[in-house]
Chains A and B, each alone.
Chain A
Amino acid sequence: MRLKLVPSETKWDFFKYVSATFGASMLAMVVSVVLFFTVGLNFGIDFLGGTTIRTESTNAVDVGAYRQALTPLDLGDVSITEVFDATFEEDQNVSQIRIQQQEGHEAVTPETIQAMEAALRSVDPDITFPSVESVGPKVSGELVQTAILAVVLAIAAVLFYIWLRFEWQFSVGAVVALIHDITLTIGIFCLLQIRFDLTIIAALLTIVGYSLNDTVVVFDRVRENLRRYKKLDLKQVLNLSINETLSRTVMTSVTTLIALVSMYVLGGDVIRGFVFAMIWGIIVGTYSSVFVAAPVLLRLGVKRDWSKPSQGGGTQFANVDA
């Protein structure tokens, strides 16, 4: 009567359709890159500079009237989107207005904000402004740099850690899986045009952490089984290891997804993009540790002779708790 998502003993062949699954992954990555360069990300003000104002009113949002009210202010590019959320009250109407960086100012001037608020009040006297956010070009440039640096550093650090603990082939497998996850996440953000801001970078790094977590658990078992079953070829060992850890892989992903989905539904619109990125990342991260990391490892091969001192790959730390 136990709930079992995965039968207690599985002998599935995860490499039966390896060319199809791996090919699909590569194709998805290519599509993501193409999307990135054609459609592009919907960058938030963190990276572009500019100002966003959140409006709230008991009256319905009239995007057209808002736009008309703001046009005489000559603010350049103005985007107005209505925000819908299950957690809102019946008469809670929210919109998000974004204006571009104003020429010649580091940050938005109080006069601009006051003028905007006055213009919007003339359309809807009940309107309130629960949040205003403004980022100048200097800071947004730095934020882009820091974000890229953070992602690269994170990948480099885990590459190093896994190389320290395993052999270099594992490290490459893990990193290919990581890049796969990040690329696909950026791809889905391009496709759905969800706003990409600083918190999404945090989500990306969490995906890096989670995806690795998953990959490492599989690899840890591979390492153990390589020592135990010296006669089995690498493909069989990989299959055995994935099957043995499958129940755990699914369990952990499901509990994490349960928690995140409740945050997605109930956590409010402010944080929805962030949680969405993590949900997506956990799905692709789980997939990639089985269908990307393992095939790469299979292709690269692993040194099996454990008695000789290692040459080139692996380090003295590799056997710490063997």
Chain B
Amino acid sequence: MLHIPFWKRLLIWGVTAVILFMAVPNLFYGRVELHNDAVKTIEAAGETPELAADAAGWPGWMPSGLVNLGLDLRGGAYLLADVQVADVYADRLDGMWPDVRDALREERDTVGAIRRIDGPADELHVRIANPDGMARALEVVRGLARPTLSLTGVGSNDIEVAGQGDVLIVTLSEAEKRATDDRTVQQSVEIVRRRVDEVGTREPSIQRQGESRIVIQVPGIGSADELKSLIGTTAKLTFHPVVSRTTDPDADPGARNLLLPSMDEEGVFYVVEQSHVVSGEELTDAQPSFDQNGRPAVNFRFNPTGARKFGDYTRDNIGSPFAIVLDNEVISAPVIQDHIPGGSGIITGNFTVEGSNELAVLLRAGALPAEMIFLQERTIGPELGQDSIEAGRIATIVAFAAVLVFMFLSYGLFGIFANIALIINVGLIFGLLSIIGATLTLPGIAGIVLTVGMAVDANVLVFERIREELKTARGPSRAIELGYEKALSAIIDANITTFITAVILFALGSGPVRGFSVTLALGIITSVFTAIYVTRLIIVTWYDRRRPKTIEV
């Protein structure tokens, strides 16, 4: 009666063995970590004897997937940033102004003289001298509209144009705004990643969350402040024509001009034109270097478009100063000595060696397209993480041992069967965590401890049922079979309800809570698997060998 076909036995032990095998690297955490790091470095930068020795510390044919440790266990910093996507709208409209201006100038006969006037940041206002020509002006500017390049915005144009008296108003369309937002956030994620990678910490995680947010997790970094100063700098480099130089901080820069402070000279301000000649987005390279006087400086090179703009401007404006502006501060304002056709140049200023190096890194990684506001942050020191791991490890071992003893005292031999299954169960959880590359957090450890307690539940259900069936005295073999059969519906129902809550937690939770839901869900799956397949197989195998007349559960 208690027959389990050979192929099924093979499958059960096979699956168990494979997953347990995947869990093995976690027993040698330090060594495998060294191996993985070494392999990665060798791939990227070539082999050295030390790296080769590290890599050889763990055999290559063994699995090397590890359970990632969460920030609360490893130490590091977490930031939740909100990208100010609306910042970009003004830039987009500024970029359109030359085209709008040129198009309207061609129609000067109908619309009269045109002038850009101030409006809200996300609108472009143009006054035309001849209001009667508004219809024509609208037509011309609408002709500049291009289709929005996004899946959701198919069929709509990028700008909307309206006339109000003698003022023509250009705004970005809703579809274009959404598309722009999307690009802005993607670009920000990319740039943050590049900046974090330059520092070279292990396994940083940079993820987009929702519409405009970015979650940044960097293990091993000293503090969230450090991380903020690394990624929070916009590093927006622009080159502007200089109008004048002043020491009056309240000076009126005039329309379409900006008043910017100097970075080095206290109390000195420059009035520059708002529209920039060329921006850091068009840089292809930036390297720290030294100027002819041996002071630290940064060398840069533009891409072809940038090089052409830069070349044209320098050719036309020899003798006049232009400002190199970084994040709204003037680094320096040299006078153009000569036509610079090659598209490369040098930024000099009052730099230290570190300062020029940092600027070069920031320029290489690119400017953040928009400012980021930090909504949430967390710093966990490595010692606290280590303490948590230690405490979690001890608690798990004690919990585990106590449950094993309790099960043996309650169910005797069958308790030992359940205990074997419980040990396998925890191995399976670690194996699955390694396979899916999940992250273990402190609540996650609590989830494992909870699972250790609850995992015996399915076995308890079965054993209690077998006890009951034994009372009706239909022989041990029948009792075991009925025990499993009848307990099944309770096992399934009870575990599905817990599983549902784990799924909801996963969907709505974040960070450590998510880690908990993952271990809880995996624990449910493995405990049901071990109870209805593994323990059963052990019991049936034992029964086949011994053929006892009576059993005691």
Is the Cβ of A274 less than 8 Å from the Cβ of B224? Answer: no
Is the Cβ of A263 less than 8 Å from the Cβ of B449? Answer: yes
B320 contacts across to A, CB distance below 8 A: none
Is the Cβ of A209 less than 8 Å from the Cβ of B497? Answer: yes
Category for how many chain A residues contact B: 35 or more
Residue A202 CB within 8 A of the other chain: yes
Q: With contacts A130-B380, A209-B498 known, is A262 near B395, CB below 8 A?
A: yes
Residue B450 CB within 8 A of the other chain: yes
Kindly identify which residue among B446, B499, B516 contacts A267, using a CB–CB cutoff of 8 Å: B446
Residue A22 CB within 8 A of the other chain: no
Kindly identify which residue among A165, A248, A256, A266 contacts B461, using a CB–CB cutoff of 8 Å: A248
Which residues of chain A in 154-206 are interfacial with respect to chain B, using CB atoms and an 8 Å cutoff? 154, 157-158, 161-162, 165, 198-199, 201-202, 205-206
Kindly identify which residue among B374, B406, B501 contacts A258, using a CB–CB cutoff of 8 Å: B406
B445 contacts across to A, CB distance below 8 A: 267, 271
Residue B38 CB within 8 A of the other chain: no
Question: With A and B bound together, what is the CA distance between A33 and B82 in angstroms?
Answer: 37
Q: With contacts A157-B504, A158-B497, A161-B496 known, is A220 near B399, CB below 8 A?
A: no
What is the CB-to-nearest-CB distance from A169 to chain B, in angstroms, rounded to a whole number?
16
Is the Cβ of B378 less than 8 Å from the Cβ of A133? Answer: yes
Kindly identify which residue among A154, A202, A257 contacts B453, using a CB–CB cutoff of 8 Å: A257
Residue B402 CB within 8 A of the other chain: yes
Segment of A68-76, A104-112, A294-302, A304-312 engaged in the interface with chain B: A104-112
What is the CB-to-nearest-CB distance from A142 to chain B, in angstroms, rounded to a whole number?
9
Residue A138 CB within 8 A of the other chain: yes
Give chain B's interface secondary structure class.
helix
What is the CB-to-nearest-CB distance from B403 to chain A, in angstroms, rounded to a whole number?
5
A149 contacts across to B, CB distance below 8 A: 508
Q: With contacts A267-B392, A271-B446 known, is A199 near B461, CB below 8 A?
A: no
A11 contacts across to B, CB distance below 8 A: none
Kindly identify which residue among A135, A213, A221, A262 contacts B498, using a CB–CB cutoff of 8 Å: A213
Which residues of chain A in 49-90 are interfacial with respect to chain B, using CB atoms and an 8 Å cutoff? 54, 56, 87
Is the Cβ of A259 less than 8 Å from the Cβ of B494? Answer: no
Is the Cβ of B501 less than 8 Å from the Cβ of A209? Answer: yes
Closest chain B residue, CB of each to CB of A85? B391
A20 contacts across to B, CB distance below 8 A: none
Question: With A and B bound together, what is the CA distance between A248 and B407 in angstroms?
Answer: 12
What is the CB-to-nearest-CB distance from A83 to chain B, in angstroms, rounded to a whole number?
12
Is the Cβ of A259 less than 8 Å from the Cβ of B490? Answer: no
A206 contacts across to B, CB distance below 8 A: 450, 501, 516, 520
Question: With A and B bound together, what is the CA distance between A2 and B407 in angstroms?
Answer: 10
Residue A27 CB within 8 A of the other chain: no
What is the CB-to-nearest-CB distance from B21 to chain A, in angstroms, rounded to a whole number?
26
Kindly identify which residue among A134, A162, A244, A278 contacts B497, using a CB–CB cutoff of 8 Å: A162
Is the Cβ of A248 less than 8 Å from the Cβ of B378? Answer: no
Closest chain B residue, CB of each to CB of A94? B384
A113 contacts across to B, CB distance below 8 A: 225
Residue B388 CB within 8 A of the other chain: yes
Which residues of chain B in 66-91 are interfacial with respect to chain A, using CB atoms and an 8 Å cutoff? 72, 80, 82
What is the CB-to-nearest-CB distance from A275 to chain B, in angstroms, rounded to a whole number?
6
Is the Cβ of A210 less than 8 Å from the Cβ of B505? Answer: no
Residue B412 CB within 8 A of the other chain: yes
Kindly identify which residue among B378, B443, B552 contacts A131, using a CB–CB cutoff of 8 Å: B378
What is the CB-to-nearest-CB distance from A2 to chain B, in angstroms, rounded to a whole number?
6
What is the CB-to-nearest-CB distance from B399 to chain A, in angstroms, rounded to a whole number?
4
Q: With contacts A157-B500, A268-B387 known, is A278 near B380, CB below 8 A?
A: no
Question: With A and B bound together, what is the CA distance between A260 and B406 in angstroms?
Answer: 14
What is the CB-to-nearest-CB distance from B184 to chain A, in angstroms, rounded to a whole number?
18
Most B-side CB within 10 Å, residue of A54, A130, A224:
A130
Closest chain A residue, CB of each to CB of B443? A199
Is the Cβ of A221 less than 8 Å from the Cβ of B517? Answer: no
B378 contacts across to A, CB distance below 8 A: 131-134
Question: With A and B bound together, what is the CA distance between A243 and B223 in angstroms?
Answer: 56
Residue A18 CB within 8 A of the other chain: no
Closest chain A residue, CB of each to CB of B468? A244
B377 contacts across to A, CB distance below 8 A: 107-108, 132-134
B82 contacts across to A, CB distance below 8 A: 106, 138
Which residues of chain B in 484-534 are interfacial with respect to chain A, using CB atoms and an 8 Å cutoff? 486, 488-490, 492-502, 504-505, 508-509, 512-513, 516-517, 520
Residue B45 CB within 8 A of the other chain: no
A3 contacts across to B, CB distance below 8 A: 406, 409-410
Is the Cβ of A2 less than 8 Å from the Cβ of B375? Answer: no
Category for how many chain B residues contact A: 35 or more
Question: With A and B bound together, what is the CA distance between A3 and B406 in angstroms?
Answer: 8
Is the Cβ of A251 less than 8 Å from the Cβ of B500? Answer: no
A231 contacts across to B, CB distance below 8 A: none
A255 contacts across to B, CB distance below 8 A: 403, 406-407, 453-454, 456-457, 460
Residue B373 CB within 8 A of the other chain: yes
Kindly identify which residue among B375, B399, B493, B517 contacts A262, using a CB–CB cutoff of 8 Å: B399
Is the Cβ of B500 less than 8 Å from the Cβ of A263? Answer: no
B512 contacts across to A, CB distance below 8 A: 198-199
Question: With A and B bound together, what is the CA distance between A84 and B453 in angstroms?
Answer: 27
Which residues of chain B in 403-426 are interfacial with respect to chain A, using CB atoms and an 8 Å cutoff? 403, 406-407, 409-412
A133 contacts across to B, CB distance below 8 A: 377-379
What is the CB-to-nearest-CB distance from A239 to chain B, in angstroms, rounded to a whole number?
16
Residue B175 CB within 8 A of the other chain: no
B493 contacts across to A, CB distance below 8 A: 165, 216-217, 220
Question: With A and B bound together, what is the CA distance between A146 and B513 in angstroms?
Answer: 12
Residue A316 CB within 8 A of the other chain: no
Which residues of chain B in 206-253 are interfacial with respect to chain A, using CB atoms and an 8 Å cutoff? 223-225, 228-229
By a beta-carbon cutoff of 8 Å, the part of chain B in contact with chain A is 72, 80, 82, 223-225, 228-229, 373-381, 383-384, 387-388, 391-392, 394-396, 398-400, 402-403, 406-407, 409-412, 442-443, 445-446, 449-450, 452-454, 456-457, 460-461, 464, 467-468, 486, 488-490, 492-502, 504-505, 508-509, 512-513, 516-517, 520, 552
Given pairs A133-B378, A262-B399, 11 additional interface contacts (CB within 8 A): A136-B374, A202-B513, A205-B501, A209-B502, A213-B457, A213-B498, A216-B494, A259-B399, A260-B399, A260-B449, A262-B402
21 A-B Cβ contacts within 8 A?
A: A3-B409, A87-B391, A129-B381, A130-B381, A134-B376, A153-B504, A198-B513, A202-B505, A205-B501, A206-B501, A209-B500, A213-B498, A217-B461, A217-B490, A220-B493, A248-B464, A252-B457, A256-B454, A259-B400, A265-B395, A271-B443
Considering the complex of A and B, which 7 residue pairs feature the smallest CB-CB distances, nearest first?
A256-B453, A259-B453, A268-B391, A209-B498, A130-B381, A130-B384, A259-B399
By a beta-carbon cutoff of 8 Å, the part of chain A in contact with chain B is 2-5, 8, 54, 56, 87, 106-108, 110, 113-114, 128-136, 138-139, 146, 149-150, 153-154, 157-158, 161-162, 165, 198-199, 201-202, 205-206, 208-210, 212-214, 216-217, 220-221, 224, 244-245, 247-248, 251-252, 254-260, 262-263, 265-268, 270-271, 274-275, 278, 321
